[in-house]
């Protein structure tokens, strides 16, 4: 039929568990059609069955990938917040005041800040929470 694009249905075994075989089917759409539709590689496509033999494909909005925070941005934010609060803060307070999106800080970055930027983490004797503090004045760290 003129005007119709050809897609291929491929079926394969995805795994075997004991005597049970799990089969997966994939609809392979030509690259040219994917480009015409402006679909991306990680596009999620919903589908709806119409009648007994028609399939309607409905693309969703592409997922927004979170912007990855660079170490220097993270360190500068943490240092700024801690410089404003010399008594020390717990991570959740730093995260909120610095508007950081990380639920937990990257442990490699924390270790690096302890080595290079004068970060000190100590357990508070009363609350048993870990306080983040700076061990040296901000001017000393600026040269690092």
- What CATH number does the domain containing 91 carry? 1.10.10
Place of tokens 């983490």: 121
Residues of the chain with pLDDT > 90: what percent? Answer: 49
- Residues 72-89: what's their mean pLDDT? 94
What are the pLDDT digits (tens) for 29-74? 888 888 888 888 778 888 888 888 888 888 887 667 777 889 999 9
Residues 43 and 100 in one domain: no
Mean pLDDT, the chain, as a whole number? Answer: 86
Q: How many domains does the chain have?
A: 2
| pLDDT higher than threshold 60 for residue 143 | no
Q: Domain range spanning residue 45? A: 8-59
Same domain flag for 93 and 30: no
105 in any annotated domain:
yes
Asked if residue 107 and residue 48 are part of one domain, the reply reads no
34, 59, 84 — which closes off a domain?
59
**The model scores a pTM over 0.75:** no
């Amino acid at each position: 039929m003129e005007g119709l694009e050809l897609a291929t249905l491929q079926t394969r075994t995805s795994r075997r568990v004991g005597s049970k075989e799990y089969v997966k089917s994939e609809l392979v759409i030509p690259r040219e059609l994917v480009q015409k539709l402006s679909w991306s590689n990680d596009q999620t496509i919903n589908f709806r069955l119409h009648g007994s033999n028609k399939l309607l494909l409905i693309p969703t909005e592409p997922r927004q990938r979170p912007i990855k925070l660079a170490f220097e941005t993270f360190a500068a934010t943490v240092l700024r917040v801690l410089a404003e609060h010399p008594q020390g803060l717990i991570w959740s307070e730093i995260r909120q005041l610095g508007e950081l999106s990380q639920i937990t800080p990257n442990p490699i970055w924390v270790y690096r800040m302890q080595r290079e930027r004068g970060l000190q983490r100590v357990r508070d004797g009363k609350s048993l929470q870990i306080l983040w503090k700076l061990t040296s004045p901000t001017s000393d760290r600026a040269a690092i």
